[in-house]
A and B are shown apart, each in its own frame.
Chain A
Amino acid sequence: MTSSQILSWVTFGYFLAALLYLLSWVLKKEKIGKGASGVLWAFFFIHTGAILLRWVESYRLGIGRAPLTNLYESLILFAWTIILLLLWLQRKSRVYTIGTFVAPLAFLSLAYASFSPDMNTRIQPLLPALQSNWLIAHVLTCFLGYAAFAVSFALSVMVLVKNSVSGRGKPAKETPTSLPGIAQLDEWNYQTILFGFLLLTVGIATGAVWAQSAWGRYWSWDPKETWSLITWLVYAAVLHARILRGWHGSRIAWFSIIGFACVLFTYFGVNFILSGLHSYGSV
């Protein structure tokens, strides 16, 4: 079996996990949440194995490169980093409802990679400009940052859902299968944004080092660069608003959703609508 086939199975695995998470929330059954978590862990290991297998496959083809260099591979990495952060947050919080909102994002990313008709899944050799030690550092930090912002987006949606639900009736007791309180969600949201902001900064910095060695320009206002800066500025504003103006809850949630829209545009919009140096991102 090739890595691409395994990954299309992982897509179904994440769909199943997302469905179970949803059921555990709706039916308030902790056992289903445990099951969802088990499914997620299992497919996360398979996912990891498939990425490594793809790496091995590239060596078998005589190319030998990290699987981080085109849209297909980046979507797979995106899903992987999202699940990584989800599992980490779930371990720390012991709350299954986070999975209800985060797991679908990883599923969508993998589904797009696996089932889009014009997706190029072939392993192609690296052009000279991409042959750099900075490739892995740049791509991994950027995508960990993107994933953190995706998780923050999901937490923001949870804040908004919680807000609209908690209006009626008395506050329910918090269990692993209920939505955590606004204060708790807000704190996780903040921590996730901090992490994403740090990683995005490292991603931009490693990109600048790389650009300097490849093209002799650490910054060239290429659309991808510019949009990553726009994203950075928006999240910088989010952090200042929260830390110094005390914005909380749904205000920060809406702000973070706007930030994630910028992330999505940096990731997809730039490739499909604008043009630039980051040609690897195209289909």
Chain B
Amino acid sequence: MADFFGSLKLALVLLLALAAASIIGTVLPQGESLAFYEAHYTPNSYKLIHFFRLYDAYHSFWFLWLLLLLTVNLVVCSLRRLPAVWKVAKAAPRTVTERLFDTLPFHRILTFSSPIPEGRVRLTQLLGRRFGRPRPLPVPDGEAFYLERWRFSRFGVYLVHFSVLILLAGGITSSLYGFKGFLELAEGEKADRIYAQDGKSFQKLGFQVELKKFTMALYPDGTPKEYRSDLLFTDGDGKSLEAAVKVNHPFTHNGFTFYQSSWSRVPQSLRLRLENEQQRLEVALGMEERVPLPGTPYSLKVVRYIEDMARFGPALGLVLFDNQGHMDMGLILINHPEFHGNRIKDYRLRVLDLKTRYVSGLQVNRDPGIGFIWVGASLMLLGFLSTFYLSHRQIWVWFRERKDPADRLLTEVYIGATAHKHREAFFRILERSLQGIEGGRS
């Protein structure tokens, strides 16, 4: 079992299967109603789409199963390899022998005719300080040292695997415990709850948020440059805080993050003139406010404001009620008083004055998974850097004194080194630092 779940073959198959499965959601429109797929695809394709939930491929049971399998594969595979790597990495060198130097992939013997000063000083002269801090090793004969660097890089690949688990945990946390809501606030309006994006549930904020002001800046050519909402947050204990939210500059308050998402404009107050053969009236009214027309059986209500009606500029949707319960509706172009359609019943309507205010559309999220994502991504990068570009570099050095045939005292220096990766580059550097040693001869 563990052989199967921990196998590399399974890992390769899963990576490629996930890649192939991910294509589906980029080709087939996602998140449409079932009726949409029934209308646009053949009955058989529709059956497939319905059964395999291809309309929400990335949350379908089989996609989650693939992810789960990959997780199991990753864990089993890492756990099976880790003890051996751990043992190698933890193994501290006890002593040095001639045999050790023979087995190391890099070995040199330098001979110095002069007797040596203290070994540690000589070592620094030989290698400098860039190969790590020398640690003395017990030897019966002479002096020996061990130097190492970047031992942790042996674990880099497990760090990467671990980071994938953290990322998956973050994704799961986001989708289970995260809340994505939407809030539309007109200037001067307050809210203490947000509605979920599907509109079915709401979430209490635990504080009050008010839109003080919405501003929009344009480039000279008229394209938008900046949208900005100035918000006022008031907590239950009356403490308040002002903050601006712009696109790319969200603001977080008590765990809820506010993002600038959209905007619109609604009338704040209007003055209208109604005219027919008999009379001429002027009324002042606000949005959604039913106002009786004096001297008539009618009342009037503004139900809609359209920012740009078929490129003719802003328009108002109005309803005229009579006292019998009948309604008449009309759309009025605000900037085109001459337009013949600006009438309801036999009244000609004209907007005399219109004050608008902005409505800011804010996305409001609470996402407890986000911390996992940033930690996971950072660990993954650290893991990549250490596993791609670093290797565990180990050096052993042994100083021994010996007499030459003429009975002069010589010093032999055994140098051996290895690295678990990128050996050639390491040995090149080592070679370079050993070159030009005075009196050195290998």
Chain A interfacial positions (CB closer than 8 Å to B)? 62-63, 124-125, 127-129, 131-132, 194, 197-198, 201-202, 205, 208-210, 212-219, 221, 223, 226-227, 229-230, 233-234, 236-237, 240-241, 244-245, 262, 270, 274
Contact = CB atoms under 8 A, between A and B. Distances in A.
Contact of B377 (A129, A205, A214, A240): A205
A127 B374 CA distance: 26
B11 A240 contact: yes
A114 B413 CA distance: 63
A233 B18 contact: yes
B224 A128 contact: yes
Name the residue in B12, B27, B248, B250 with the highest tally of chain A Cβ atoms < 10 Å from its Cβ: B248
The 4 closest A-B CB pairs, nearest first, are A128-B247, A233-B19, A237-B15, A223-B26
A132 B388 CA distance: 30
B224 A201 contact: no
B219 A229 contact: no
A197 B385 CA distance: 11
A159 to B, nearest CB: 20
Interface string B227-260: 1000000000000000000111110000001011
Contacts of B18: 233
B19 A234 contact: yes
Nearest to B20: A230
B176 interface: no
B208 to A, nearest CB: 21
B8 interface: yes
Contact of A221 (B11, B30, B377): B30
A215 B363 contact: yes
Given A221-B58, A233-B16, A124 B223 contact: yes
A125 B15 contact: no
Given A129-B247, A209-B374, 8 more contacts: A62-B220, A212-B370, A214-B259, A216-B259, A227-B22, A227-B26, A236-B15, A237-B16
B368 to A, nearest CB: 13
Given A221-B30, A230-B22, A131 B248 contact: yes
A221 to B, nearest CB: 5
B119 to A, nearest CB: 37
25 contacts: A62-B219, A63-B219, A125-B223, A128-B246, A128-B248, A132-B248, A198-B384, A198-B388, A202-B381, A208-B373, A209-B374, A212-B370, A214-B247, A215-B363, A216-B257, A216-B259, A218-B370, A219-B171, A221-B25, A221-B30, A226-B22, A233-B22, A234-B16, A240-B12, A274-B27
Contacts of A214: 247-248, 259
A227 B16 CA distance: 13
A213 B224 contact: no
Name the residue in B219, B226, B257, B261 with the highest tally of chain A Cβ atoms < 10 Å from its Cβ: B219
B189 to A, nearest CB: 21
Contacts of B8: 240, 244-245
A124 B224 CA distance: 12
B58 A125 contact: no
A194 B248 contact: no
B23 interface: yes
Interface residues on B, range: 35 or more
B225 interface: yes
A117 to B, nearest CB: 24
B224 A127 contact: yes
B180 interface: yes
A213 B58 contact: no
Contacts of A218: 370, 373
A14 B83 CA distance: 52
A229 B22 contact: yes
A161 B368 CA distance: 52
Contact of B15 (A124, A132, A233): A233
Interface in B210-227: 219-221, 223-227
A219 B23 CA distance: 16
B29 to A, nearest CB: 10
Nearest to A134: B248
A201 B248 contact: no
Contacts of A236: 15
Nearest to A274: B26
Contacts of A230: 19, 22-23
B388 A226 contact: no
B380 interface: yes
B365 interface: yes
Contacts of B12: 237, 240-241, 245
A214 to B, nearest CB: 5
Contacts of A234: 15-16, 19
